[in-house]
Structure 1
Amino acid sequence: MQMNRSGSGKPWASPCAACKILRRRCGEKCILAPYFPPNNPHKFSTAHHVFGASNIVKMLKGVPTDRRDDAISSMVYEANARVRDPIYGCAGTICQLQHQISELQSQLAAAQAELLALHMHQANLLSLISLSHTSKEDAQPTESDPQYKENKEYNIDGLFSDEMECLMLWEPR
């Protein structure tokens, strides 16, 4: 740990950002020093602008020591949100994110419904294909079947064999 001019145990030689902005002496027992280092003055200035230094100190004193880092992080986030949106602050951001989640959930539900419909359509097509293959194999007429004789009388073009013979005999001159 680096010692400053006064011999205190703080890792930096200059006062914390809070004391620098407030133009006061930064002592060893400065409650703000661990959370607002001198190299990040914007962090304190935003929080100070929204909450005020005395309110930040009061809030920190009311929070257990192990949770103070989270409290400062939350105050700085809220302060930045208030600067961006003075009326709603964090609540506006939360509402926007909830609305976005709602829209994405409805899009996901629609996509899942479409996917289900496509799977059902595919299953129907596969069952029809398998049905047609089995029916073609099962439906092959035998010579004893009356339809066999009817099917035999048709040629590829669907004309009767008799008609084909007549057409072959008749040729234009």
Structure 2
Amino acid sequence: MERKAANMESDTTTSSPQLVITPCAACKILRRRCADKCVLAPYFPPTHPAKFTTAHRVFGASNIIKFLQELPECQRADAVSSMVYEASARIRDPVYGCAGAICHLQKQVNELQAQLARAQAELVNMQFQHANLVALICMQMSETPQESHQQSVDNFISSPSHSSDYQNNLNFFEENTSLNSLWEPLWT
């Protein structure tokens, strides 16, 4: 008996250690043994089971395997990410799926392009107004500055409307301040 135990012990120590390979998320969810050449293993790692669950709900495991087998290996990763995206969009919006998201984004692009066109038109208009204003200022400055300044001062002083308006405003203020002291407040 001791001899058999010693032989078993030596057999286990001399044999190479066995690697424990965890099944991919697809095989784990499908409850099957993950083979060495599993088509799904590189794209559905055991750390991301939700990725396979989403794709499996919409496309089914056999369709996913068939799609991947028909593609060259360099395109499979992109195909898996596209399938997962399409499946999650289809779960969120069963009627339109990705097409609904594409239409929504296209509508936003169109609105932003229209807004950009309006802003560019407004910018051109403002530049035109600025150029006109600068031209007008240059024309006014080309006149003799001393003469135009003296004329505007003389016109302001000699204008009878300015002095009479000022006197009328003072009289109105004096009349209203004497009445204000007699008024009672409207609220308490």
Structure 2 length-normalised TM = 0.68
Deviation, 1:140, is 5.6
CA deviation profile, 1:2-33 (whole Å, cap 9, x unmatched): xxx854xxxx8310000000000001010000
- 1:31 has 2:16 as partner: no
CA deviation profile, 1:25-48 (whole Å, cap 9, x unmatched): 001010000000001000000000
* Higher helix content, 1 or 2: 2
Misfit runs of 4+, over 4 Å: none
- 1:125 has 2:118 as partner: no
How many residues align? The count is: 139
Which residue of the other structure, out of 89, 100, 103, is the alignment partner of 1:81? 89
Q: Tell me, what secondary structure is at the counterpart of 1:30?
A: coil
Structure 2 counterparts to residues 69-148 of structure 1, below 5 A: 69-136=77-144
- 1:157 has 2:165 as partner: no
Tell me the equivalent position of 1:17.
25
Which residue of the other structure, out of 70, 74, 78, is the alignment partner of 1:66? 74
Deviation, 1:107, is 0.7
> Aligned equivalents of 2:72 and 2:118: distance in 1?
47
Q: Percent identity?
A: 57
Deviation, 1:135, is 2.6
Q: Tell me, what secondary structure is at the counterpart of 2:64?
A: helix
Mark the runs of 5 or more structure 1 residues left unpaired by the alignment: 142-150, 160-173
> Aligned equivalents of 2:131 and 2:18: distance in 1?
81
Tell me the equivalent position of 2:61.
53
- Structure 1 residue identity aligned to 2:23: P
Structure 1 length-normalised TM = 0.74
How big is the alpha-carbon RMSD for the aligned residues of Structure 1 and Structure 2?
2.2
Deviation, 1:91, is 0.6
Tell me the equivalent position of 1:42.
50
Q: 1:27 to 1:110 in 2, by over 3 A?
A: same
CA deviation profile, 1:88-117 (whole Å, cap 9, x unmatched): 101110000000000011011111111111
Q: 1:119 to 1:21 in 2, by over 3 A?
A: same
Deviation, 1:155, is 7.8
Deviation, 1:158, is 3.6
Mark the runs of 5 or more structure 2 residues left unpaired by the alignment: 1-16, 160-188
- Structure 2 residue identity aligned to 1:112: Q
> Aligned equivalents of 1:107 and 1:60: distance in 2?
43
Deviation, 1:78, is 0.2
